[in-house]
Amino acid sequence: MKLEKLIGDRFKEKPADCVIDSHALMVRGSYIKHVANGIFSSYTILRRITRKIEQIIREEMDAIDGQEVLFPVVLPASLWQESGRFESVGAELLRFTDRNKSQMLLGMTHEEAAVQLVREYGVSYAKYPFMIYQIQTKFRDEARPRGGLIRVREFTMKDAYSFHTSQQDLDEYYKKAHRAYEKIFERAGLGQTVSVASDSGMMGGSVSHEFMLLCPIGEDSIVICNSCDYRANLEAAECIAENENRIALAELKKVKTPGQKTIEDVCNYLGLPAENSCKAVVYQKNKDDKYVVAFTRGDLDISETKLRNILKEEFHPAVITAESGLTAGYIGPYNLKGAEFYLDNSLKGINNICCGANEEEYHYTGLNMERDLTDAKYFDISKAQSGGICPVCGKKELAVSRGIEVGNIFQLGTKYTKSMNMQFADENGQLNYPIMGCYGIGVGRLAASVCEARHDDYGPIWPMAIAPWQVHLCCMRADDAQVKAAADEMYEKLLSSGTEVIYDDRLVSAGVMFSDADLLGVPVRVIFSPRNMKEGLCEIVTRDKTVSKKVKTDEAYDAVRALVAELLQR
């Protein structure tokens, strides 16, 4: 098509409200239009990209025997009541009533709808395994949408659900799906994506992986071992601490610590290193506001995800009132009243630390966990740290990086089939619950991630497989009849060969023409200009600058076609 007909303006200025590059470039190039908080329309350019991404995903899902279906966006609450998630999921699940006062919701994930679709079909083991998927709009009422298409409220997602008669069968399929995901990211130009073990959160199940594009602007923290191939989301990474004190045993002693409320202050005041102290973090349960205190070593931090998995319920940071019985700033595990508490593994066996005395202006020193807190239980509720111990190879080689989650796969187990009573008869006529897996990719976030990973100051550098067009044809000085005729001919030839070409024959300066082309990010650029025309040449350059050459105009068509074909293979 002609660039002058492309809907959407292009801007040089970085919008003030854009904190990440992909967001800024997608606004500057009219890929997206803000409609409401976390809700965008897609312009032509982005829709061309997302359709290609959708097609790549579709092909790879079909290749692992997926069957494309379509679930509703609007679901009856009754379906989610069957699984129990109507109550258990928080405000990100958008609930409403329809005109008949029926409770409804906007699907943010479709496990329930998937089970409902195949519950009657999957009654015999002979039908298994099978996988269904859809590419459909989802809505998740995020509290804090951010980063353009990175975290939105409405998004297009491919979600897939597989059903199996045994854990072994799921394990095998899960591996296939893992490989399919790698292929999808490779084809979309994100071959550098890594998979990390993740927390299953509200999805249920145990084994799960996130596919992460390592990237400084990522929202997720990923723990990577520099020595072995261990990788996990920070929320899921096991935290292993060396449980040794480097100071001698001492008696439990109450000491006055006026105004010393933080770990840093107390340790400074008492002349102790942070790892010889005990940190308290206080929460309240959502359902009844009861207090929960999490204790860990002073040099570590509490992982709320891990604590939530132990409590199996939602909680929020506490407001400590006078009536609570808790003494803010002076809370310790010894003689604590008014709250249930959880101790991190890092405290186990530690024999001389300081902690709050549960009394205004007092701490204890010399706390010996084994001696002073008999029968205490310990949990893994701290975050792993850079320089920490790898749970696989045991070396102190952990590093924490940032990443964007571009996909995830979960082993769901029987959480949904059990709660929704989907059963199959096995070879012996015995009834069993199918075991499920689920597999998600956000289409828009993937597009934005490719842009994050592949751009320069002037625009995205789209890989050929998902580029909005394959060739960007520039006719400089379209008022020069000879140049215009040559460019027009190239345009017609490329069009009739099925090449996707965007043709800029506007009478604008080279500066405008090239900065627009940079914002579109089309991989191959072909430039006709008066100067080259005099020598019978035209220019072929790639957006990533790896190719820049002049070719004879009568050889240009073949050269462009060959270059497009080559880049499609990458």
Interaction site with a second copy (CB under 8 A): 5-9, 30, 33, 35-37, 39-44, 46-48, 50-51, 65, 67-76, 78-79, 91-92, 94, 96, 98-100, 102, 104, 106, 113, 116-118, 120-121, 130, 132, 134, 136-137, 139, 141, 143, 153-154, 156
CA 292 to chain centre: 29
Q: Which residues of 80-113 are buried (b: 16+ CB within 10 A; e: fewer)?
A: bebbebbeebeeebeeeeeeeeeebbbbbbbbbb
Ramachandran angles phi, psi of 193, nearest 5°:
-60, 140
Task: Tokens 């009739």: give the residue.
Answer: 496
* Residue 145 or 388 with smaller CB distance to a second copy: 145
* Residue 44 or 166 with smaller CB distance to a second copy: 44
Ramachandran angles phi, psi of 159, nearest 5°:
-125, 135
CB of 44 to a second copy, least distance (A): 4
CB of 520 to a second copy, least distance (A): 14
CB of 51 to a second copy, least distance (A): 8
Is 301 in contact with 295 (CB distance < 8 Å)? no
DSSP secondary structure code for residue 518 in this structure: H
CB of 235 to a second copy, least distance (A): 23
* Residue 39 or 255 with smaller CB distance to a second copy: 39
Strands 501-504, 471-475: pairing kind:
parallel
CB of 95 to a second copy, least distance (A): 8
Is 33 in contact with 7 (CB distance < 8 Å)? no
Cα dihedral 377, 383, 384, 387, rounded to 10, equals -110
Widest distance between CA atoms in the chain? 96
CB of 6 to a second copy, least distance (A): 8
DSSP secondary structure code for residue 129 in this structure: S
Please give the Cα distance from 555 to 525 (Å, whole number): 15
CB of 34 to a second copy, least distance (A): 9
- Which tokens belong to 533? 């025309």
* Residue 8 or 191 with smaller CB distance to a second copy: 8
CB of 130 to a second copy, least distance (A): 6
* Residue 35 or 247 with smaller CB distance to a second copy: 35
* Residue 6 or 446 with smaller CB distance to a second copy: 6
Q: Which residues touch 354 (CB under 8 Å, ≥6 apart)?
A: 266, 267, 270, 272, 276, 277, 278, 363, 364, 365, 366, 367
* Residue 75 or 466 with smaller CB distance to a second copy: 75
Strands 537-542, 524-528: pairing kind:
antiparallel
